[in-house]
Amino acid sequence: MLDIKNIIAAELSLKMWQVENALTLAKEGGTVPFIARYRKERTGEMDENALRDLFERHEYLTELEERKQTVLKTIGEQGKLTDELRAKIENCLQKTELEDLYLPFKPKKRTKATVAREKGLEPLAEFIKALNRIDAPDTDLLAEAEKYVSAEKEVATAVDALKGAADIIAEEVAETAELRAWLREYMLREGKFISKIKKEFPDGTTKFEMYRKFEIGVKEIPAHTMLALRRGEKEEVLDLSLSFDEEYTLKYLNHKVVMATKPNIVKFYSDLIKDGFDRLMKLSITGEVRLLKKAQSDEESIRVFESNLRQLLLSSPAGMKPTIGIDPGFRTGCKVSVLDDTGKFLEYHSIFPFENNQKADAVSVLKTLIDKYNIELIAIGNGTAGRESDEFVSSLLETLEHKPIKVMVNESGASIYSASKVANEEFPELDLTVRGAISIGRRLQDPLAELVKIDPKSIGVGQYQHDVDQKLLKKKLDDTVVSCVNYVGVDLNTASKELLSYVSGINGGLARSIVEWRNSKGAFRSRKELMNVPKFGQKAFEQSAGFMRIRNGENPLDNTGVHPESYYIVEKMLSDLNCRVADIAINPETSKKLDLNKYIDDKAGLPTVTDIVEELRKSGRDPRDVFKYATFNEGIKEISHLRVGMELEGVVTNITNFGAFVDIGVHQDGLVHVSEMANRFVRNPAEVVKVGQIVKVTVLEIKESLKRVSLSMKTSKELEMRKQVTEFNKKKEASLTDLRNKFI
């Protein structure tokens, strides 16, 4: 049996006590956010990422150990479990290695080898195997094989007998764990993926054009390229193959397997090795390598998705202010929803600002709503008619003395939410488009609170999200949402049940109970009132309370990240400073008078005490960045309006391994390739930009028919220099062409 804890400690560079304590806390029901935030002393201040790595590795090794027991039992029942094989199985650390060891003993369908065994040819195979040594005597294989000719067993000739024996040995060679491991590693190291577009697709007719004649090393293929090639293959546009030096491979296999020197034995083995390689190794291991690269690409793409999702969920909130949300539309008009400063829906209207005979009514409706509710924010969806609606509202605001802030909001997934069970439960009487307008408005007020209602895959910040492992994707994205929700904290009196369900220690049922209690009893006045909620136990309180916020409650600490279990420490601090919680937030320097070591006890160490002081300094403040918004160029609403060289402002909507997509207000995001992100080498786009960031870009290329726009974030000076170099090279090439023509 593996010592799993010791292995994890070594692999992750942790102390044994850290691993043991983290696993114990998890077993006791501790969530990752809770352990990372409130049990730092127990884990040596491991953060969420470190904890998740530990738990995932522990789960993997635990599953591996369980699988080993099944394998050992199966082989033991066959009477083939040697001490050497048992040791190999017990000591392996990877599932692939275990399955290689198990393969020769794994129950399988009838193969050529099993048929040969049924014909009684295994003794012949063993006889020939015994000849595979340097000092083997000259032996007539056909003469030996004659002994196994049998009409009853359907072995017609000695040649047939030798062929059956070769099938048995070929399968054994092909199932040798060490050889399979070598071939797998060789393909990963030296192999190449080669793609070609099928003949029925002429030049320029597919989105996979760059892969028409494409070749790349297996070890260096980027995740997005691997997934793109697989998608092209799935859509039957690409032929994809994995190429490697088969001649070298066969030489290696012969070198490792063939010990004999007698020509007839060498020839016999060489032939069966070639057969076993072609029939039993090549395709299966090629498939394994492809799946392995797919799995690696999935993990990398999901990491990118996680990063983008985190940035989007933690986007700056405009704040809980009276807001108008507008879901734009031409034919069906614009749906206008009004929200109060808690996000509560108040009323809605349909306006038709693009119909000349109804434009005045549209202006009147908006003006009335702005005045009636003292609107401070206007959120406009960036979909169809978004830019036109933006210009309409801009012209209206120019006539007002009190001008709300107007922002274009990314509406990806709003239609998914509108038709969802969540939206139907929240607004059963409203039309889908009205629900969309509400969601757009709430996204501006607080992106996190609204976006948690939507399946993360529908938010539009992924990279080939429909091609990756869906189970792994869901787990990782759910982990990301949980992390973000608990990082920000949740207003207990305004949070939806969807938002509450992501709080540490709270499931869907408890979230519903909290909302129902709130609706019947009124606002929570303190965190401890959570214990009055049906089925809300002490464990749930321990795990969740620190992440709940109550504004203007009975205890100001309930609006901080200080856990109730540590309130007694704060009381000592306030007594020593002779001040209130609010005084420290107003003047953080006050806390520097504290001797933190004085407050350390058997329940709270220095990390916890330090965190408490930090929370008091920023009491009630949102940890997210200050709100900013982009201003799109007037008159630039479609791709056809763009010109090469235009300088625009935009918002980063998605980040991939190869660049970033930027919304510049033309209904089609432009791509800033990684090579165009800065005046220096950029390895990872995430080093330069994040989702939601406002950036200045220059239009490099426009392919209107393909709806593709290439952008650059490089400075104007750099672009001008490159333009001059390009023009110089063109002139130089033209001059050289003229000279060549003269000589010709």
417-447 residue pLDDT tens: 999 999 999 999 999 989 999 999 999 999 9
Find the largest Cα–Cα distance for the chain: 108
What is the per-residue DSSP string for 579-597? Answer: --HHHHHH-GGGGGG--GG
Q: Model confidence over 78-108: pLDDT tens digits? A: 999 999 999 999 999 999 999 999 999 998 8
Q: Model confidence over 466-502: pLDDT tens digits? A: 889 999 999 999 999 999 999 999 999 999 999 999 9
Can you give the pTM of this predicted structure?
Answer: 0.85
Residue 730 is predicted with a pLDDT of 65
Question: CB–CB of 218/188 below 8 Å?
Answer: yes
Residue 204 is predicted with a pLDDT of 83
Residue 667 is predicted with a pLDDT of 82
User: What integer is the mean pLDDT of 141-145?
Assistant: 95
Residue 413 is predicted with a pLDDT of 84
CB atoms within 10 A of CB 683: 8
Q: Model confidence over 70-79: pLDDT tens digits? A: 999 999 999 9
Distance of alpha carbon 56 from alpha carbon 51, whole angstroms: 9
Residue 641: pLDDT over 70: yes
| Mean pLDDT, all residues of the chain | 92
pLDDT more than 90, % of the chain = 81
pLDDT more than 70, % of the chain = 96
Q: How confident is residue 539, by pLDDT bands cut at 50, 70 and 90?
A: very high
Three-state DSSP state, 678? coil
Instruction: Provide the b/e sequence for 324-357 (b: ≥16 CB within 10 Å).
Output: bbbbbbeeebbbbbbbebebebeebbbbbbbeee
Residue 716 is predicted with a pLDDT of 64
Q: How confident is residue 728, by pLDDT bands cut at 50, 70 and 90?
A: low
Residue 53: pLDDT over 60: yes
Among the listed residues 405, 518, 386, 500, the one whose alpha carbon sits nearest the alpha carbon of residue 448:
500
How do strand 670-673 and strand 659-663 relate by DSSP bridges? antiparallel
Output the six-digit token pair for 107: 């129950």
Residue 464: pLDDT over 90: no
Residue 725 is predicted with a pLDDT of 62
Q: How far is CA 522 from the centre of its chain?
A: 39
What the chain holds in terms of domains, given with CATH numbers, is: 4-105 (1.10.10.650), 114-309 (1.10.3500.10), 323-513 (3.30.420.140), 561-617 (1.10.150.310), 639-713 (2.40.50.140)
Kindly provide the residue ranges of all beta strands, DSSP E only, lying in 146-267, ordered along the sequence: 192-197, 213-217, 238-243
Distance of alpha carbon 111 from alpha carbon 104, whole angstroms: 12
Residue 631: pLDDT over 60: yes
Bigger pLDDT: 728 vs 336: 336
Residue 546: pLDDT over 80: yes
